[in-house]
Amino acid sequence: MLEISQDPVLGSNQKKDKLCEQISALFHEKIFNVCTGHRSLKSLSCRMQIIMKAISKFRGCIRQVECLNPSGASEFDINKRARIIFVEDPEKKRGFLFDHVWSILKDVEK
């Protein structure tokens, strides 16, 4: 997805439906060897919205901890404190579930 959304030619100034179609094509091309299942455009779009909402919320928690400027805190310590803040949200009681993509998406704006 980042290949398409971050590409200055493909990712900018195009309609959401066209972007989703390109993402779907790339997803199915890459996942073909791993899984024979098919995901609809709506399914992929909904999943991405869930992931991006959680990433954005967690990024906000990280920034909140960083603003406290904890002396001597490592990245691990900041991440640990951010997780505590994250689960304080009643909608996020299960915690942050997207560690598998955090390292990829943490520095990507929207």
For residue range 74-101, list pLDDT tens digits in order.
Answer: 999 999 999 999 999 988 889 999 998 8
Interatomic CA distance for residues 51 and 44, integer angstroms: 11
Structure tokens at 72: 């001597």
Domains of the chain, residue spans:
1-39, 53-110
Cα atoms found within 13 Å of the Cα of residue 45, Cβ hemisphere only: 10
End-to-end CA distance of the chain: 12
Phi-psi sector, 84: left (phi>0), alpha (psi -120 to 50), beta: alpha
24-33, 37-46, 58-67, 86-95: range with lowest mean pLDDT: 24-33
Structure pTM? 0.72
Q: Is the dihedral of CA 23, 49, 68, 75 positive or negative?
A: negative
